[in-house]
Structure 1
Amino acid sequence: MNPSASGWIDKYIFILEKEKLTFSFENDNAFYKNLRKNGFIYGLSVETLVPIDTANLKLTEEEIAKVNTLQALMYLYFSHHKNLNYQNCITHLNQFYEKLSEKKSSLVPSMKFNLSESKKLEFVLKKRIEKTKSVDKSPFEQIVTNALLFLDILAYKIFLKNDKISPKSYAENLETILLQSCFLALHTKTQKTKYDKLLLEMFETSTLQHAYFPDSDFLIHKINFELLNDPLEKMYLIDLCTLAVWNDQKLEHTETEFLKQLCKKLNLHHNYAVLSFEMLKTFVIKHTTSVNLFQYTYPAKQFYNQSSKMVKLLILRNKNRLIKELSQSKELIKLLGKSTVKDLSTAEKTLIKEQLFDIFKSIPSLTIFLLPGGSLLLPLLIKFIPQLLPSAFDDNKIPKK
């Protein structure tokens, strides 16, 4: 089975039926622990959730993540539907992703292609997981975008319980809580590296910062934790915050206290903060030589450097099309120009975000911004866009001598 080739889902179903494999875990807690153990929760899958024979083909991290996503979704489906009807499962997963995208992005292929249900799902998983073809491979996507892939799993769990609930709204609300918590966690570090500071500054000075932090003195008590009811959501939040502050295989006192405070807010035992760190440390030590993320001391360093590099590359490769799209939105240009000299209102920030997303939908190689966690790149994009526009765009620009 080759997850990068067409027909891999049909081949996987064939294997499942032939070998009579099942997606069985004692409970959801055991299911989550396995996803954390194999790195999926950290955005760095090193092995599949349900073992498969890969003797003839060594899978890449992206391919393992793709298989893990499918296996996790299948586990949830068959937890609610005891009959092993794989075709019904695939159809239901496509229905979920249609709801998740709400047909506003290119994640779901057009019906004119007349694809089978399995081919549709392959297309969707490719868009959700594989790196954009126009972008060089970067650890950033593994740190952020892939780490947020578990949002798909949580959203599908909600969808299974009540298909009237919008998976898209749920995922957006949960992502906001996750990012708010992670960046508050970064603020607790008493010894911040220059990359920690750059990362925080990127958001604090962003025209889109208000989407996550409605005021300058945003504190933990302002996060709406009441939206989190599932134990998996709570454990996931703590694990991501632990990943955010990871740098030297130890926790500062302030970081430990913050994580324990989070546990209290989430009605988790305070020992889970220590457990989360120990699980991450175990994963790091075991996979240091094989996982790119931990070849560096600071994940924040990779986050900033790689994301900056990726956004620059995206702009260069899409320069002409991006200029054309921007020129058709005079209101957006006006707001971007205004943002270089003064703070924007909440309504103006929201308008920038919406109009930029509309542009991303029209340029295939920019769909990376529509993926889970893709909004993290927007501040950098806004920073580099002025380089594409006439010099008059920046009223404060000092001409070179």
Structure 2
Amino acid sequence: MQINPSINGWIEKYLNQYANEIAHYATDEDFFVACQKSGLIYGYVVNYHLNSDIDDKKWDTEEKIKVGFLSTLIALYKRKRGNDVEGFLETIIQFYDQISKGKFSFMKMVLPDGNSYQKLESIINERLQTNDNIVTKNFTHMVTNAMLFIDVLAFEFYLENTTISLDFFKDLERKCMALIMLSLNIKIDKSEYDLMLLKMFENSLRYSKVSKINSDEIINVIFEGNRSVLESLYLHEVAHMTLLSDGVVYENEQKFLDEFTSKLNLNKTNQNTGYELVEFINKHKKELPFFNLNHPVKQFYNNTQDNIGKLVSRNKSRLIKELSESKELVKLLRKSTQSDLSFEEKKKVKKQLLDICKTIPSLTIFLLPGGGLLLPILIKFIPQLLPSAFNENLND
């Protein structure tokens, strides 16, 4: 049964099929390494903690992150409290409900009426949401998702203590920002890219508005309070990611990383988790937001083209039917591949395409602010969509 993470009811369907397939991890270290391999820590999900395969070919980047985020939370619950889907649903909703009582507007979520599955869908959608404008969202959603693992650490704290406040999030975000600043200071040659990396994390702050930390309090901020093993491993990973922003860790940087690992009380087994970061980067460097910040327009185009391509694929039969009733539109689209359209022709194409998008729920994305700018990408996929016989039937 195909799962579409953008349609209501996907969580119930996913859990019915895969809840028992989510892996059980014997140690926190095993769980963390699995999170590295999944890609959630880096804002780019490639697997879902499953013991079996799942067909995700039609999922876009954000849909994969939704499923990866949910699976990670379930895997953590499974490690701490056992395999109980109903118990997980009740606990995760209580967790976010407790956070929503905080004073920061982002987390003041009003959970809709409905069952636990629908409430969790609303929560995850809210957690991944960054901008209402579709254009700016394509630039920024990968940035924010790079710090999703803070929610995982907060959920671990809640499972251990049965209580949570926004102070946990604020403190952990401050630790991450302080650590990034400290790690960048270790670099002998700082590039514009390093400054962009810092800005990326600053823009990823979701639970606090504090981004400036005095240099004389950086160390104290990083090591204040008690830390779980998972939090220590995550801080180690943040430092490693920062040092690897230019693709290599130099001798003085490795020395700093080793000393930092020791201060975190991580043993040699823990340190080996750094190998997974290097492996993941080698496999997915072209897709990782950390290594594409200096090409924002290209990143926007690639992300958008991938998403629209999947939308077209999912709605192929419906699009063909609608286009068959718009012969003038198809003629104009074919003409545009051979010569420039006039201003009036372009207006006709835009209007008729938007009319079609109104009739297909998945394509109403093009009706949002900025959506009209994406129509040229949609047009690019339409010739591939139409069979040659269909085009021939439109000949005069």
Structure 1, residues 254-286: CA drift from partner, whole Å, max 9, x if none?
32222223212211247866x455322211211
Structure 1, residues 220-260: CA drift from partner, whole Å, max 9, x if none?
3x235142421111111111121122234321233222222
SS at match of 1:181: helix
Structure 1, residues 9-56: CA drift from partner, whole Å, max 9, x if none?
111122136xx4354122221111011012111121122222565437
Check the 8 A contact 2:183/2:243 in 1, yes or no: yes
Question: Structure 2 vs 1, CA of residues 294 and 230 (structure 1 numbering), >3 Å: closer, same or farther?
Answer: closer
Partners of 2:216 and 2:56 lie apart in 1 by 55
Check the 8 A contact 2:18/2:50 in 1, yes or no: no
SS at match of 2:147: helix
Question: Structure 2 vs 1, CA of residues 161 and 302 (structure 1 numbering), >3 Å: closer, same or farther?
Answer: farther
Match among 279, 284, 292 for residue 281 of structure 2: 284
Partners of 2:260 and 2:153 lie apart in 1 by 20
Question: Structure 2 vs 1, CA of residues 162 and 278 (structure 1 numbering), >3 Å: closer, same or farther?
Answer: closer
Letter in 2 for 1:120: K
Q: CA RMSD in A?
A: 3.4
Q: Which has the higher contact order (CA 8 A, sep 6+)?
A: 1
Structure 1, residues 68-96: CA drift from partner, whole Å, max 9, x if none?
221122123233433x4423321211110
Partner of 1:293: 289
Partner of 2:171: 173
Partners of 2:200 and 2:77 lie apart in 1 by 39
Check the 8 A contact 1:108/1:123 in 2, yes or no: no
Question: Structure 2 vs 1, CA of residues 47 and 75 (structure 1 numbering), >3 Å: closer, same or farther?
Answer: closer
Deviation at 1:138, TM superposition (A): 3.8
Partners of 1:250 and 1:16 lie apart in 2 by 38
Partners of 1:196 and 1:108 lie apart in 2 by 33
Partners of 1:210 and 1:22 lie apart in 2 by 35
Check the 8 A contact 1:238/1:276 in 2, yes or no: no
Deviation at 1:127, TM superposition (A): 1.3
Check the 8 A contact 2:176/2:222 in 1, yes or no: no
Partners of 2:38 and 2:187 lie apart in 1 by 27
- Paired residue total: 292
Check the 8 A contact 2:43/2:147 in 1, yes or no: yes
Match among 251, 255, 258 for residue 257 of structure 1: 255
Question: Structure 2 vs 1, CA of residues 130 and 57 (structure 1 numbering), >3 Å: closer, same or farther?
Answer: farther
Letter in 2 for 1:100: I
Deviation at 1:156, TM superposition (A): 0.8
Partner of 2:117: 118
Partners of 1:240 and 1:277 lie apart in 2 by 10
Question: Structure 2 vs 1, CA of residues 180 and 162 (structure 1 numbering), >3 Å: closer, same or farther?
Answer: same
Structure 1, residues 318-355: CA drift from partner, whole Å, max 9, x if none?
xxxxxxxxxxxxxxxxxxxxxxxxxxxxxxxxxxxxxx
Partners of 1:77 and 1:197 lie apart in 2 by 37
Check the 8 A contact 1:107/1:124 in 2, yes or no: no
Question: Structure 2 vs 1, CA of residues 52 and 135 (structure 1 numbering), >3 Å: closer, same or farther?
Answer: farther
Question: Structure 2 vs 1, CA of residues 23 and 38 (structure 1 numbering), >3 Å: closer, same or farther?
Answer: closer
SS at match of 2:173: helix
Letter in 2 for 1:262: F
Q: TM-score, normalised by structure 1?
A: 0.63
Partners of 1:3 and 1:90 lie apart in 2 by 17
Deviation at 1:101, TM superposition (A): 2.6
Partner of 1:26: 26
Check the 8 A contact 1:179/1:212 in 2, yes or no: yes
Partner of 2:68: 68
SS at match of 1:110: coil
Structure 1, residues 287-332: CA drift from partner, whole Å, max 9, x if none?
235x143664xx5x469x999xxxxxxxxxxxxxxxxxxxxxxxxx
SS at match of 1:246: helix
Partner of 2:346: none
Partner of 2:214: 215
Check the 8 A contact 1:177/1:224 in 2, yes or no: yes
Uncovered stretches (5+) of structure 1, i.e. residues with no partner: 308-364, 366-401
Partner of 1:99: 98
Check the 8 A contact 1:38/1:47 in 2, yes or no: yes
SS at match of 2:25: coil
Identity of matched residues, %: 29
Letter in 1 for 2:15: I
Q: Does 2:232 correspond to 1:234?
A: yes
Partner of 1:246: 244
Partner of 1:78: 78
SS at match of 2:214: coil
Partner of 1:393: none
Question: Structure 2 vs 1, CA of residues 294 and 106 (structure 1 numbering), >3 Å: closer, same or farther?
Answer: closer
Check the 8 A contact 1:43/1:146 in 2, yes or no: yes
SS at match of 1:45: coil
Question: Structure 2 vs 1, CA of residues 168 and 103 (structure 1 numbering), >3 Å: closer, same or farther?
Answer: closer
Question: Structure 2 vs 1, CA of residues 73 and 219 (structure 1 numbering), >3 Å: closer, same or farther?
Answer: closer
Partner of 1:225: 223
Partners of 2:56 and 2:196 lie apart in 1 by 44
Q: Does 2:16 correspond to 1:14?
A: yes
Question: Structure 2 vs 1, CA of residues 103 and 29 (structure 1 numbering), >3 Å: closer, same or farther?
Answer: same
Letter in 2 for 1:55: D
